[in-house]
Structure formats: C-alpha cells, structure tokens
Amino acid sequence: MLTIHIFVFLTAATHQLAFAARKDVDQIVSLPGLTYDVEFKQYSGYLQGTTGVNLHYWLVESQSATPSTDPLIVWLNGGPGCSSVKGLIKELGPFHPNPDGATLFENVYSWNKKANVLFVEMPKNTGFSFQNTSLNNGTTYNDETTGADTLAAVKDFFDSYPEYKIRDFYVMGVSYGGVYVPLLTNLLIKEIQAGRLTANLVGIAIGNGQLNVTQIINSNMVLLYAHGLIGKDDWNSLQKCCPNTTLVDCDFSQWLTLNTDGVPYPVNITTECGGIVADLGLARVWATLNNVYNIYQDCYQKPATSSKTSFASSEVPLPSSRSAENAFIDQGSMINWASTDAFGGYSCYADSAAEKFLNTPTVRDALHIPSEAPTWQTCSEDVNQKYIREYLDTTSLFDFIIGSGYKLKMLIYNGDVDTACNFLAAEWFIEELKTKYNMTITETRHPWYFQQAPQYSLQLAGYQKSFGFRNVTIDLVTVKGSGHYVPMDRPGPALQMITNFINNANY
C-alpha cells in the first residue's frame, strides 16, 4: 500500500514538474522591436488540440498590481481563418506595430491592464498554428472540428497553468467569434457540469459578431440607406419586393440562398428582386470602395492600374485625370498621408506591419515558433475558402447556454458604423431571445459615457440595454463611432467597457 502511495505521489509530482518546465520554456524572455520596458510576463508556445493539431497561444499577464488574482480572458478572432494574434498586435494587446514593421509602440488601452489575456490561434493552420500531417492529415474545416480543437487547447492550458483554474474566466471574440464563442462556451459548460474540467467560467463577450446571417443581410439594407450609401430610388425599388410590409420588417433573405460557406447568393439574379437584393444587400456592402468594416474609414491607396475596380458585380469608374493647374490638392494629406482617421493611418498599415514583424526570424525565435509552422498571415485565405460554416444562425447555441442552468453573464457589443456584422442585427438577435424566453428588461436603453480624465466632461460612448433570465444576464452595448474592431477604433471606451463588464460596474 505504501508503495502505491509513493508511486501516486511521484507521478503527480512528475506532472507538476513537467508543466512547470513547459511554462518556463514558453516564457518570452526578450521580444525584439519593443521601444519601451515591459513589466509583465508573457508566454508563447503551443497547446494541443485534437490528435496532431498544434494551436499557437500567446499569453500576456495582467499589468495591474494584482496579476495573480486578476481574471483570465481567452480571446478568439474570427474570419474564419483570421489569427487571434492579430487581435493581440492590432487591437487589444499591449503593443502595436509601427509602420516600419520592425518596432512596437505601447497600447496604453491594452486589455491586459485589467486582466490576463490568452490569445489562441485557431482553426488549425491559422497564424502560427499547424498540424502534424503524419498524425492527422484531415483537411476538414468546420465549426464542430474547430470547437473540439479549441476545447482541447483550453483544457491543455489549464493543465499547464493550473493557477488559472480557480480564477474568473471569460471567453471573448470578434466577428466570426459570434460563432466560436458560444460554441466553445457550450462545450466548456458540458465539461464543467460533467466534472471533466475544473474552471470558473463566469462570462462571455462578443464584439460585432456574426450571430445570424439573415438578420445581418436584412438590417444592412436599412443601415445603408440611413448612412447615405444607397439613394432614394434604390430604397423605393426595394418596396416592390416587400409590398405588404415596411422595409424595416422586410425579409430580404427570401431572395437569397446561403451555401455551405455562408456566402449568400441570389436565388435567381435574373428576377427583378433577386437582382435588386443582390446589388443593394451584397455588392453595395462588399464590392465598393467603401470600407465594409468602418464606413467612415478611408485609407489612401496607390492609384489603380485599371480604369475600373476589379468588382465585376459593381464596377465603379475612377475619376479621370485633370490638368495639374486645375487639380485639387488635399492639404490635409500633406500632414496625415495615410488615411482620413485621427490615428495616423494606423488601421491602414497595421496588417502589413504586423505580418512583417511576426515573420522576422528573430521574432519567431523569441516566440518559440518552429520551422514547420507556416508564415504568419493576418488571415488565411486557404482556411477561409475550405471552411464549412455550420451555424449561420447561432440561436441553438444560445438556447443551450440558457437551458443548461449554468450561471453566466454575457456582453454583446457592437461598433455602430460596421456593415460586416452590424449593431442592428445584433439588437434584433438579442431582442428575439428576449421575446422567446420572456426575459426581464433590467435596464432600458440608455446612453453610457466615457470620461478620459476627471478634468474633462463626460463624452457619449454609446448605448446600453440589459436583460435577465434565470441564471443568465445579457448586456447589449453599442460603441459610438467604432467599426468592426472596437478596441482599435475606440480604444479608451473599449477598455472602460470591458473593465466594467468584468467588475459588474456601471459602464
């Protein structure tokens, strides 16, 4: 009996030493390109998904005075096929790339000011993640396989970093994270309730999420007209397709079909309504010179080599050249040469600068990236094209969460000038859940405010409405003037929002 006890003790101790050694190996000792002193610990390495799947992670510990008790956020970017490290380096992480792609500057509104943040690159072959094809040569990409891999990776993380098992723990994400987050949450709840996982999951947050594709299409018609992106004649032509209802209540999706890659196509483009809806609901969103992710953001690009854009469905003639003496000269561009924003064109160069930085050999070495890992891209076109989207409507995922009886708080937030996954579709989605479950409105819709410093007056940051049903609470929040990537477009309000959500405080 004594021999058995000694064996069990030694086995447990061996596992503890193995995990400690792995954590030490994954610690980032020095990150090239930093232009300021970093006083928090960070780790980069690989978590094990299902057989043969290696998902890259990057953990940045909290910068607060109490990192050992601060909560953990698991962050997932969307796409599908976009890297979560993109979320770190471009959006909510502690540093951003400079235009040179070689140096980093501090993000003073990083979310690790208040929490430990774990960025997991998924699905397989996204970012630095890769698969061992000798163990797993599968080429299937879908929601269920991605969910299984991510769940396995999160469980592997808790095994390697057991100190986080008792911390408050959140799953958060953006865009197609509207599918990833509730799907992973379902799997985590099942594991926790079955006693197969020890973790203190307390909440989720979804930013500009794809919750229901049909609602996004229907609501975009209204938003495009309200923002002046389609005209009165176009608006009137839509009425022909819904003669017995108001356009706000019209189901334009009846003229479209969604295939397995989640892309809508007209049922019959030769019919009048098929053509109208395809043009106004799709081409005017995705196939113009407007930025689909932020309608007020424009990046100054090199002149096109063709007299037309490459969009076959919506060809837009470019302005003809004029004589130099009559040409308009943009005086502002002489100061801010990159874009129309107030951040020196950061959103315009961030992707290319991040790719250059992360593919630098010394940076890959610092992050412990092996040679078999792919060249880092913000988004993988190959993964995106192969991916089968199984939850074009995520209602069933939310149904499970609500029906599980698990206590959970949710934040559904949206920048209000995004047309890829707009705020109105998110509002319709949550309102439908409210009706379905007869939820209580705990806070009626009202403004929330951002205050930069005590000496400044309050600034309108957006609007909030809250709901409750049994063990679930839902905060529906808009962020004024932000597009798809809220932590990038409105970093101050975004940090205030997520801090107060975590702390159960007034936004």
pLDDT of residue 309: 28
What is the value of pTM for the model shown? 0.89
The beta-carbon contacts of 27-33 under 8 Å, at least 24 apart in sequence, are: 28/366, 28/367, 29/366, 30/366, 31/104, 31/363, 31/366, 31/367, 32/360, 32/362, 32/363, 32/366, 33/102, 33/103, 33/104, 33/357, 33/360, 33/363
Report the range of poorest mean pLDDT among 142-146, 216-220, 421-425, 497-501: 216-220
Known catalytic residue at 418: yes
pLDDT of residue 326: 58
Considering only CA atoms, which of 97, 102, 93, 144 is closest in space to residue 123? 144
Count of Cβ atoms closer than 10 Å to residue 469 Cβ: 16
Per-residue pLDDT tens over the stretch 468-493: 999 999 999 999 999 999 999 999 99
CB 357 within 8 A of CB 33: yes
Distance of alpha carbon 42 from alpha carbon 28, whole angstroms: 6
pLDDT of residue 447: 95
Mean pLDDT value across residues 13-39: 80
Indicate the angle between helix axes 177-193 and 143-160, nearest 10 degrees: 60
Per-residue pLDDT tens over the stretch 228-249: 998 999 888 888 888 888 888 8
Known catalytic residue at 446: no
Distance of alpha carbon 212 from alpha carbon 178, whole angstroms: 9
pLDDT of residue 254: 83
pLDDT of residue 383: 95
**Mean pLDDT, the chain, as a whole number?**
87
What's CA 358's distance to the chain center, in Å?
Answer: 19
pLDDT of residue 498: 98
Class assignment of domain 18-211+389-502? alpha beta
Distance of alpha carbon 94 from alpha carbon 38, whole angstroms: 9
Q: 141 - beta bridge partners?
A: 387
- 84, 219, 347, 484: which one is catalytic? 484
Q: 116 - beta bridge partners?
A: 72
H-helix or E-strand spanning residue 25: helix 2-26
Known catalytic residue at 227: no
Mean pLDDT value across residues 103-108: 95
Residue 190 pLDDT > 60: yes
Distance of alpha carbon 283 from alpha carbon 433, whole angstroms: 30
pLDDT of residue 395: 98
Distance of alpha carbon 397 from alpha carbon 179, whole angstroms: 8
Per-residue pLDDT tens over the stretch 47-71: 999 999 999 999 999 999 999 999 9
- 418, 466, 475, 489: which one is catalytic? 418
- 175, 219, 347, 482: which one is catalytic? 175
- Which phi and psi (to 5°) does residue 63 adopt? -90, 0
Buried-state track 306-327, b at ≥16 Cβ within 10 A, e below 16: eeeeeeeeeeeeeeeeeeeeee
DSSP string, 99-123: TTSS-EEE-TT-GGGTSEEEEE--S
Residue 215 pLDDT > 70: yes
Amino acid in the structure at residue 445 = R
For residue 428, give both structure tokens.
């319709």
pLDDT of residue 7: 44
Q: What residue segments make up the domains of the chain, in order of their start?
A: 18-211+389-502, 213-321
